[in-house]
Each structure stands twice: as structure tokens, then as C-alpha cells.
Amino acid sequence: MKTLAQQVIEYLSWKSDEASEPFTVADLAAAVSTVQSGAGIEADSLCKRQDIENLLKKDIRTPRYIAALAAAMGTNVETLKAGAFVPGAAPSTFVVTTEPADDPKDYLIAQYDAAGAMGNGGLVLEEQPPGLIKSWRVDPEWLRLNVQHHTGRANLCIVTGFGPSMKPKYNPGDPLLLDRGVTDVESGGDGVYFFRVGNHGFIKQLQRIPTENGLVLRAKSFNPDYDAFEITQKMDFAVFGKVLTVWRSEQV
């Protein structure tokens, strides 16, 4: 059976008059609505057109299913917002690889492509991770007991820790569970985030600090050898997701 994303892509390709014509979020919303109407999808799993169109409004938080749908379509939320999605184009570097689980009740938490997060130019990290964790397979009970608050299991992914700036919170190579559904600190609250400033990627604690000129974000490391820095509104800043849980390795 074809996935919803596959059906949407086919519908958009069929609808397009020119192969290179881009599609906006509104186009995607209409396609999702059309495909779902004949797919017999359960009501609580529906992607509502109005919710998707809300992505066009700056002050509304990204609906939790959009990141997963975008990844399955081989693109990302930012591309959809910009109206730059082209059906049949080469997959985006944001694609999260999935594979069938041994047990149909299991959940596959796949790798987030940190190195490819900025496209062909790549994301500059403070240090490359010592190898990658490609995926985790967990059962519903593990997720229920260990990750109680998230925006939806489809938004969960694994980032392999890199660089020494967050020691002793975690070590390079340790697994970090990321929620891609949290894309701004205002809605996600203070915490540890995976983000970029320009083309440089960071995983640091972000704290909102009030100043006479308004709120600024302060990025802090757990390693005292690394200085904190402030992120202002004039900087090219974007959040990839909020780190929910880390597992710190210890050699024995």
C-alpha cells in the first residue's frame, strides 16, 4: 500500500503542468486534503488543510505531523514554507531513512542527518562525531515510559553527539533524542537545542534573557572551557529541534 506521502507526491506531479513548477504550502494542503478524502484515513490521523495552511502564519507553531510528512516527501518544512518543493526532484538532505520494523508494533527512531542539514554545502560542526548512530528500534512501552512529552513519535530522531563543549552532560558519540516538531524556543521553552547560526551547527542550552532591547537568546555550554554567546534577532538563526533526552556513555 502506498503511503500518504507517496500519494500526495503522485497527485502533485499529476496536477502540475510543468515538471519544474514549485508547490507552496497551500498547494500541499489541497493535495493532502484531496488524497485523504479517498484514502479512508482515521479521523485522528488526518492532516487538516487548515492546520497545514497555518504554516503560512508566522506566529503559529508548526503542526507536529508536518515535519514527518515533509521528510517522507524528500524535503523539509522550510522548503515547503518557501514554496520551493518540486515533485520528483532529488531528495533533500533532510530525508530520514526508514525501514520496516521486525515487530509491527515497534517504532523506528531514525538518524537525523546533521552533516547534511544545510544542503550540498553541509553544516559546519565544531567537531565531527566519532561515528554515527543510524537508528533505534523501540517498543511502545519504552517510548511511553522514557519519553513522556514530545510533539509526536514521527518527529523523534537520533542525533549523534559531537564536540566536547557539552561535557559532562554527554560525550561525543553519545545518542541524543531530538524532537523535530519543536522549531522555536518561544514555544519550546528553555532547554537544550540543536540549532544553527549561519552555516554553523550547535547543540547547546538556550535560555531566554530579557534586556532593555527585548529578549535575547543565550547559548550556553556545560563545559566551562566554552564561553556563552548571545543570539540576537539580526543573526541568521534556525532551530532544528529540541533535545529531549541524552544518554551519557561511560567506559568501564
Strands (E), the chain: 107-110, 124-125, 135-138, 156-160, 175-179, 191-197, 200-211, 214-220, 229-231, 237-246
Beta-strand relationship, 135-138 and 107-110 = antiparallel
Which pLDDT tens digit goes with each residue over 149-163? 898 888 899 988 888
| Residue 249 near residue 173 (C-beta atoms within 8 A) | yes
> In sequence order, what are the beta bridge partners of 135?
110
| Residue 25 near residue 80 (C-beta atoms within 8 A) | yes
Residue 186 is predicted with a pLDDT of 86
Give first-to-last CA distance, the chain, whole Å: 47
> In sequence order, what are the beta bridge partners of 111?
158
Residue 231 is predicted with a pLDDT of 92
Residue 177 is predicted with a pLDDT of 93
For residue 240, what are the contacts with CB-CB under 8 A and spacing of at least 6? 112, 117, 178, 180, 183, 193, 194, 195, 196, 201
Instruction: Provide the whole-model pTM.
Output: 0.58
Residue 230 is predicted with a pLDDT of 93
Torsion of CA 208, 173, 177, 96, to 10 degrees: 110
Residue 142, number of CB atoms within 10 A of its CB:
13
| Residue 230 near residue 209 (C-beta atoms within 8 A) | yes
Look-up of cell digits 507526491: 9
The rounded distance, in Å, linking the Cα atoms of 64 and 155 is: 7
Residue 84 is predicted with a pLDDT of 57
Beta-strand relationship, 237-246 and 191-197 = antiparallel
User: In order of start, what are the domains of the chain with their CATH numbers?
Assistant: 4-81 (no CATH), 107-246 (2.10.109.10)
Question: What parts of the chain have a pLDDT lower than 50?
Answer: 1, 17-20, 55-56, 58-62, 89-101, 116, 118-121
Which candidate, 196, 252, 241, 232, places its Cα nearest to that of 67? 241
The rounded distance, in Å, linking the Cα atoms of 50 and 48 is: 6
Torsion of CA 193, 243, 155, 230, to 10 degrees: -10
Residue 118 is predicted with a pLDDT of 47
